[in-house]
């Protein structure tokens, strides 16, 4: 029982990590809380839902199309709502437009798909494994391996691909990166695109594992992503991983051993405690402000 819960927790954690990466990257570059992140990924998940349920398209194609559309939406939001405000001194202002953008997307999602919980078609087989006394459905193993694979793929991209290096460079210092000849606007759009795509992958995996998708998962996803990012230490890949895993495992244990209706309040409480005890997150470094 304990190991079962732990395994599912790890799977959820891996999915949360996917969702958190995009969020954390945006934060590390622009210091912007991207409130629209969750609504973007739920948009992608809904697209996948429609493609699978209505048009019966090949699942791999459907996932790919949904991810690309999520990515495009994410970069559109950046271009329309955030880009003009990047030079604004008060970051509060772009935070509020971010929330406005989230509202617009959420409302559009609601108009198209409503606010009820929808049955997400199961893509994977329901075969169950017995392994060291655990009962693990094949689905969970596949989901976990896809999530881990994507995380590894993204890490490799960031470390070795020229575009990945450009992203790292921009996140260090925008003016310097610009002087080095890195196209800032393009790179930032790319960050949003990749972040949105990873988010959609996370959303689809999550929906597959629970066979459900609903509008409210969007905002919850934003909060989860931010919470995980902060808990782990915002702006770093390892932070996203630690935070996502921590949150996924904790949540699953609380849900099973305490009560599902107190799952979210306890999650938020955890966040508050982490912020109070170690505001920079578990993996975060101390920042000294310059006078």
Partner 1 sequence: MENIGSNSILNSPKYKAVAYGMLFIVCLLLPKIITNMYYLGIINYIILYTILCMGLNLILGYAGLLSFGHAAFYGLGGYTTAILIKRYGFSFLPCPLLSGVVALLFGILLGLPTRKVRGDYFCLLTIAFGEIFRLVAQAWIGFTNGAMGIVGIPIPSILGWSIRTEADFYYLGLILLAFTYITISLLIHSRFGRAFIAIREDELAASVMGINTAIYKIIVFAIGCFYAGLAGSYLAVYQTTVTPSNFRLEESCLMIIMVIVGGMGSLLAPVAGGIVMTLATEYFRSISEYRMLIIGVIMVAVLLYRPQGIFGTSAFKD
Name the residue among 207, 186, 210, 229 with its Cα closest to residue 37. Answer: 229
How many binding residues for partner 1 (CB under 8 A)? Answer: 45
* Under rule CB under 8 A, residue 149 binds partner 1: no
Smaller CB separation from partner 1, 128 or 259? 259
The residue range among 47-55, 105-113, 118-126, 138-146 that interacts with partner 1, by the rule CB under 8 A, is 105-113
Q: Which one of 19, 150, 230, 249 is in contact with partner 1 (CB under 8 A)?
A: 230
DSSP, residue by residue, 9-22: HHHHHHHHHHHHHH
Minimum CB separation of residue 36 from partner 1 in Å reads 10
Instruction: Convert residues 25-54 into a mask of x (bound to partner 1 by CB under 8 A) and - (unbound).
Output: ------x-x---------------------
Phi, psi of 109, deg, nearest 5: -55, -45
* Under rule CB under 8 A, residue 80 binds partner 1: yes
Which value, to the nearest 10 degrees, does the dihedral of the CA atoms of residues 115, 116, 121, 125 take? Answer: 120
Residue identified by tokens 């960031």 is 158
**Contact of 77 with 101, CB cutoff 8 Å:** yes
* Under rule CB under 8 A, residue 20 binds partner 1: no
* Under rule CB under 8 A, residue 269 binds partner 1: yes
DSSP 8-state assignment for residue 283? S
* Under rule CB under 8 A, residue 81 binds partner 1: yes
259 SS3 class: coil
H-only helix segments in 54-134: 59-77, 91-113
**Contact of 86 with 189, CB cutoff 8 Å:** no
* Under rule CB under 8 A, residue 265 binds partner 1: yes
Minimum CB separation of residue 232 from partner 1 in Å reads 14
* Under rule CB under 8 A, residue 89 binds partner 1: yes
Token pair in block for residue 117: 């919980």
* Under rule CB under 8 A, residue 116 binds partner 1: no
* Under rule CB under 8 A, residue 96 binds partner 1: yes
**Helices vs strands, H then E, count in the chain:** 11, 4
* Under rule CB under 8 A, residue 19 binds partner 1: no
Q: Which one of 92, 126, 179, 286 is in contact with partner 1 (CB under 8 A)?
A: 92
Smaller CB separation from partner 1, 80 or 152? 80
Q: How far apart are the first and last CA of the chain?
A: 54
Name the residue among 15, 42, 67, 19 with its Cα closest to residue 216. Answer: 42
Name the residue among 184, 209, 164 with its Cα closest to residue 21. Answer: 164
Binding region for partner 1 (CB under 8 A) = 31, 33, 80-81, 84-85, 88-97, 99-104, 106-108, 110-111, 219, 223, 226-227, 230, 261-262, 264-265, 268-269, 271-272, 275-276, 279, 289, 291
């Amino acid at each position: 029982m304990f190991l079962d819960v732990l395994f599912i927790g790890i799977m959820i954690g891996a999915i949360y990590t996917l969702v958190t990466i995009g969020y954390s990257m945006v934060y590390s570059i622009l210091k912007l809380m991207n409130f629209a992140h969750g609504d973007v990924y739920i948009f992608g998940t809904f697209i996948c839902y429609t493609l699978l349920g209505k048009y019966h398209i090949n699942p791999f194609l459907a996932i790919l199309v949904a991810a690309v559309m999520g990515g495009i939406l994410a970069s559109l939001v950046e271009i329309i709502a955030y880009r003009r405000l990047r030079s604004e001194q008060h970051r509060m202002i772009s935070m509020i437009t971010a929330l406005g953008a989230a509202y617009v997307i959420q409302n559009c999602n609601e108009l198209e798909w409503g606010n009820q919980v929808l049955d997400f078609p199961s893509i994977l087989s329901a075969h169950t494994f017995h392994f060291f006394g655990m009962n693990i459905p094949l689905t969970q193993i596949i989901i976990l391996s896809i999530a881990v694979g994507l995380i590894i793929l993204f890490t490799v991209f960031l470390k070795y691909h020229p575009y990945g290096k450009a992203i790292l460079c921009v996140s260090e210092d925008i003016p310097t990166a610009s002087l080095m000849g890195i196209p800032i606007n393009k790179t930032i759009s790319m960050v949003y695109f990749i972040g949105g795509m990873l988010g959609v992958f996370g959303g689809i995996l999550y929906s597959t594992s629970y066979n459900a998708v609903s509008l409210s998962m969007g905002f919850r996803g934003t909060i989860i992503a931010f919470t995980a990012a902060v808990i782990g230490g915002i702006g770093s890949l390892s932070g996203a991983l630690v935070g996502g895993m921590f949150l996924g495992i904790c949540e699953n244990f609380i849900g099973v051993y305490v009560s599902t209706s107190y799952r979210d309040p306890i999650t938020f409480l955890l966040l508050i405690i982490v912020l109070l005890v170690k505001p920079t997150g578990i993996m975060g470094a101390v920042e000294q402000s310059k006078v």
